[in-house]
Amino acid sequence: MRPAGFAGESVTGPGQPALPGEAGAARLRGCQSEWLAFTGHQDAGAARSTLVLVHAPGNSDAIQPSHWFVHSEPYATVAVSWAFHEEFELPPGASLRYVYLVVVDGAWDADGSGSGP
């Protein structure tokens, strides 16, 4: 049984067609791309939304590149991971700073054009 909340329908990224559920999530999990879009529905109802995470331009200069962490089952998870493939040590006195734009919109169509809420 899926918990109430935001359940995943499809995941897409630059140059990638939207794939349903965990197939889309698995394709982009652990990869690097400028953005990731996750479309789902709320509380098993008809309302659908798309969550888009976008890297700010300065993120490419960061000490450690980030990767997408995304799952569709058993519940929706979308995040970034700086240690997805391997751990790293931050040198003494160094800092890590990443900036992301997060946009929530109505459900996107498979081509990413959007259909509104």
What residue segments make up the domains of the chain, in order of their start?
A: 6-106
Q: What is the pLDDT of residue 117?
A: 31
Residue 25's nearest CA partner among 80, 71, 75, 78 is: 71
Q: What is the pLDDT of residue 115?
A: 42
Q: What is the pLDDT of residue 99?
A: 86
The segments of the chain whose pLDDT lies below 70 read 1-6, 44-46, 60-63, 108-117
- Cβ within 8 Å of residue 31, ≥6 positions away: 13, 67, 68
User: 110 near 10, Cβ under 8 Å?
Assistant: yes
Predicted TM-score (pTM) of the model is 0.73
